[in-house]
Amino acid sequence: MTSDGASGARVAAGFPGPPKLGTSEGGSRTFAFPYLLLPSLWAARNRMQRRERGDSLRGLLFGGVGILVVGALFWGAYWLTRQLAAYEEFGDYLLRLGLSWLFLSFLAFLGFSGIVTALSSFFLSDDLRLLMTSPIAARRLFAARFMRTLGSASWMVIVFMTPVLAGIGVGRCAPWAFYVTAVSTVVPFAMIPVALGSACTLLVVNVFPARRARDLLMLMGLVFAAGIVLLLRFIQPERLLRVESLPDITDFFATLQSPITPLLPSFWAGEALFAGIQGGVDWLHQAALWTTAGAFTVVLAGAHERWHFAGYSRSQEAPKTRFAHFRALDVIASALPLSTVRRQLLVKDLKVFLRDVSQWVQLLPLLALVLLYLYNFQVLDLERMAFIGGFVKNIYAFVNLGMAGFVMATVAVRFVFPAVSAEGSAFWIIRTSPISMHDFLWSKFWTALVPVLLFTEALTIAANQLLGVDPFLKLVAAGAMVVMTFALVGLATGLGARYPRFGADATQAAGSYGGVMFMIVAVLLIIVIIALLGWPSSMYMMSKSGLVRFRLTPERQAIIVACFTAVVAICVATWWLAMRSGVRALDAMRN
């Protein structure tokens, strides 16, 4: 039966026929551009209607966190705006400067996000194989893809910016026209960097194959993160905390003003919003935003119509089979006291991870943020700050322990938890081979433990050294980080084996029911460990003051030892039980 006959049979049987681009049921003409957006909307609707295990828990967790973040942003913007309002003209100057810096930061983020999102929307999306062979005009396909790219690249910025602008408006008692101005400002502002990012993607894909361009754009993330670090260090905000630098406050604000030029859309958006706060309308900068956004979109549409098909054809080229052998790993692994099976599993996991650029390159922005975190302690002259006493510095030891724990949990849920799921369809090879699930899972654990332990231990020791905390607290924090690493890495490995998702990528597996459960348990574990270590450590530190009431009695010494022992016991139990549960889950799957 032909396709027309099958369609007629479906209509005769009472089923709706296939939709046709260009016509509707009544014969009136429809437009391909909005119609091409419907599959994404229908997919989101169907996903919301199809409930899976853990959806309610994820909804409550992320919804609660989202409400807290939005509330904190609104309150922070409102409080800061009210404080600036007390300084009259100087407060207005700082508010205008702050708006320009806010949009300047989002300008860079939207540009990079547009580059990455356009690569997926215009070249690597699965539905392009159908759309590129359909009778759809290139300009309409561009309009649909660009709207999809714009929404995917800017939704996070809009969610973040909405409570901030609302807090500023409420803090300054702005008229209702300010909120209309905010909408008419944010929309063209988001279009400009996304259009530029899409143009960069179009250029890169026509020079490199799309599969290789994806790795290149991932490496650009490192440049983006490094640029943020250099920008923050260029400003040097720590100068405000130095007494001897107070005469240089004017130079500090001149430094803040230097990256802001009237030629950037961020400056136009800030000026337009500041005029809206005062009850006026800045038609000049509004017109600059809309005309620039329209011009960039028109130019991008012409470039898309001219070069998109060539770039898409290059993206369909089969990748070359060359890959790195990493023979040094074989040499190093042969020297380890491991059995042959565990040695080969270790080498396999390391080589797969190092060959996948999209995996390890995601650690580079995190490394940049950690270096910035440590560098801030180095440039701050804490010894000259009278309000930062020794007690507060020692408190920072536990703050650093918590921060390192949260960083470890983030790394574990992204890289350790999906370790079993990353086997994908090749997991049947493990199941049918003469390899026990015990050796398989413990190989995953030891492969992840060593780099995570070295990373978090170095972060903890370096931060405490820069802060100048007490040697006793340095020892406590370093020891706690060791047992915490065993617990969190074992928990991530075990839960990842208990709740695998072999058909999903690493990001989807990390956001699954098991990933959410891991984050909840990990946060609770970190809080419990800090609580058990904080009280006995504070008792020991206060006993060094020489006061009689803080003297370490035998009862207090016993409590201190009990708390430290409880931390070790909880971490070891979490590690062992999670791994045991994971091995049992894999054995049950094998049987």
* Mean predicted confidence (pLDDT) in 484-513: 83
Residues 6+ apart with CB under 8 A from 105: none
Give the number of other CB atoms < 10 A from CB of residue 444.
25
Whether 167 and 76 have beta carbons less than 8 Å apart is answered as yes
Tokens of 50: 């199809």
Between CA 228 and CA 105 the distance in angstroms is: 9
Hey, CA dihedral for 462, 464, 467, 470, is it positive or negative?
negative
Domain boundaries, the chain: 55-208+247-315, 340-590
Tokens of 217: 């754009």
Residue 19 — φ and ψ, nearest 5°? -70, 150
User: Using alpha carbons only, how large is the chain's radius of gyration in Å?
Assistant: 28
Give the number of other CB atoms < 10 A from CB of residue 190.
26
Q: What is the predicted pLDDT for the residue at 83?
A: 82
Whether 267 and 261 have beta carbons less than 8 Å apart is answered as yes
Which pLDDT tens digit goes with each residue over 302-349? 999 888 888 888 777 655 555 556 777 777 777 777 777 777 888 888
Give Cα 369 to chain centroid, integer Å. 12
Give the number of other CB atoms < 10 A from CB of residue 331.
9
CA distances from 361 to 210, 346, 509 (A): 17, 20, 18
Tokens of 119: 């690569």
Between CA 442 and CA 439 the distance in angstroms is: 5
Average pLDDT across the chain, whole number? 77
- Helices and strands per DSSP (H, E), number in the chain: 22, 0
* Mean predicted confidence (pLDDT) in 198-205: 86
Which pLDDT tens digit goes with each residue over 122-160? 887 778 888 888 888 888 888 888 998 898 888 888 888
* Mean predicted confidence (pLDDT) in 514-527: 86
Q: What is the predicted pLDDT for the residue at 288?
A: 92
Q: What is the predicted pLDDT for the residue at 289?
A: 93
Task: Using alpha carbons, select from 399, 414, 370 the residue that is nearest to residue 518.
Answer: 414
Residue 33 has pLDDT above 50, yes or no: yes
Tokens of 145: 């893809």
Whether 233 and 375 have beta carbons less than 8 Å apart is answered as yes
* Mean predicted confidence (pLDDT) in 211-231: 59
Q: What is the predicted pLDDT for the residue at 499?
A: 86
Per-residue pLDDT band for 17 (boundaries 50, 70, 90) equals: very low
DSSP string, 139-157: HHHHHHHHHHHHHHHHHHH
Which residue, chain included where needed, has tokens 């809009």? 158
Host H or E run for residue 428: helix 427-432
Q: What is the predicted pLDDT for the residue at 566?
A: 94
Question: DSSP 3-state helix, strand, coil percentages of the chain (rounded to 5)?
Answer: 80, 0, 20
Q: Which residue has the higher pLDDT, 244 or 497?
A: 497
CA distances from 153 to 211, 222, 296 (A): 20, 18, 16
CA dihedral 40, 44, 50, 56 (to 10 degrees): 160
Q: Give the percent of the chain with pLDDT over 70.
A: 72
Which residue, chain included where needed, has tokens 């030629």? 263
Residues 6+ apart with CB under 8 A from 552: 539, 540, 543, 560
Q: What is the predicted pLDDT for the residue at 425?
A: 78
Q: Rounded to the nearest 10 degrees, what angle do helices 176-207 and 210-235 cross at?
A: 130
Which pLDDT tens digit goes with each residue over 527-582? 899 989 888 888 777 777 665 566 777 888 888 889 999 999 999 999 999 999 99
Q: Which amino acid, residue 457?
A: E
Burial profile 18-37: b = 16 or more Cβ within 10 angstroms, e = fewer? eeeeeeeeeeeeeebbebbe
Q: What is the predicted pLDDT for the residue at 11?
A: 40
Residues 6+ apart with CB under 8 A from 222: 361, 364, 365, 368
Residue 322 — φ and ψ, nearest 5°? -70, 140
Which pLDDT tens digit goes with each residue over 357-392? 666 666 666 666 677 667 666 655 555 544 444 555
Task: Give, rounded to a whole angstrom, the gap between the first and last alpha carbons of the chain.
Answer: 45
Tokens of 143: 């309009």
Whether 293 and 138 have beta carbons less than 8 Å apart is answered as no
Residue 195 gets which letter from DSSP? Answer: H
Q: Look up the pTM and report it.
A: 0.63
Helix, strand or coil, per DSSP, at residue 511: coil
Task: Using alpha carbons, select from 96, 276, 77, 104 the residue that is nearest to residue 163.
Answer: 77
Residues 6+ apart with CB under 8 A from 56: none
Between CA 142 and CA 118 the distance in angstroms is: 11
Between CA 272 and CA 182 the distance in angstroms is: 8
DSSP string, 470-494: -HHHHHHHHHHHHHHHHHHHHHHHH
- Please state whether 21 falls in left (phi above 0), alpha (psi between -120 and 50) or beta: beta
CA dihedral 385, 391, 396, 402 (to 10 degrees): -160
